[in-house]
Amino acid sequence: MGVKIQISGLTGKMDSYIEAVLQAGGEPAAAYSPPPDPDCAALLLCGGGDLDPRLFGQENRGSHPPDPVQDEAELALVRYYLQAGKPVLGVCRGMQVINVALGGTLIQNLPPGTREKHIGQGGKDQIHPISLAPEGFLGKLYGTSLTVNSWHHQAVDRLGEGLRPSAWAPEGFVEALEHQSRPVYGVQFHPERMKGPEAGPGHLIFTVWMNRIRRSSE
C-alpha cells in the first residue's frame, strides 16, 4: 500500500476521510486524539466540533462545548508535524486547528444571515461558490472559482503566523489557507464528501496532496 497517513478525528466519523486517503493511494492510520506517529508521512485533521475559545484568548461567544482531550491532542499533532517538516491537511475544524496552533483566532459564530448559508440542513451540506487565489493550491487545481459544500458556523479570523488565505466565501471570510513556506494546507469545506453535479470534485485535492507526499518521501 502507499505511504502512511495519520488521521485524527471523532470516533465513528472518519470513514469518508479514510476512504479518500485510500482512493488517493495512501495507507490511513486513523484514531481519536492520537499521539504523533513518527512512522506517518503526513497528517490529516478531520472536521468536528468547536475548539475551546480560551485557546485563542477569547471568552465563549457562541462556541459549542469543547472537547479538551481532542483540542490538546490535535494542537500537539500540528506542532509536531510542522517541526518535522511533514505535510498537513486540515478539513473544516482541522483548518481552524492549524490556524490556532500558529497563533491565529476564530470567528466563534458567523452572523445571522451568513451562518444559515453555511450550516447544513436536513442532514445535507449547504452548497455555495467560493473565490480562489490563482496562485494558491486550489487555484492551480480548479481555476478562480469553485462550488463547494459547507457545514460550519465558525470561521478563521486573524491568520496564524506564516499562513496566507487562498480562497474566500462570498461573505469575505477565509475558505482555504496555506503556509507560506511549509506543506500545510487547510480548507473550510469538506472535499472528502464533495461529489456529484452540485459541488466540484473533491477527490482531486486528496490525489494531488498524496502525490506531493510521495515525492517528499522519496
Active site residue 118: no
Residues facing 164 on adjacent strands: 178
Q: Are 97 and 75 in contact (CB under 8 A)?
A: yes
Check 74, 175, 178, 192 and give the catalytic one: 192
- Computed over its alpha carbons, how large is the radius of gyration of the chain? 16
Active site residue 192: yes
Active site residue 190: yes
Check 118, 152, 153, 190 and give the catalytic one: 190
What one-character-per-residue DSSP string does 44-93 give?
EEPP-SPPPGGGGT---SSPPPP-HHHHHHHHHHHHHHHHHT--EEEETH
Cell of 12: 465513528
Check 40, 46, 74, 92 and give the catalytic one: 92
Question: Which residues form the catalytic set?
Answer: 92, 190, 192
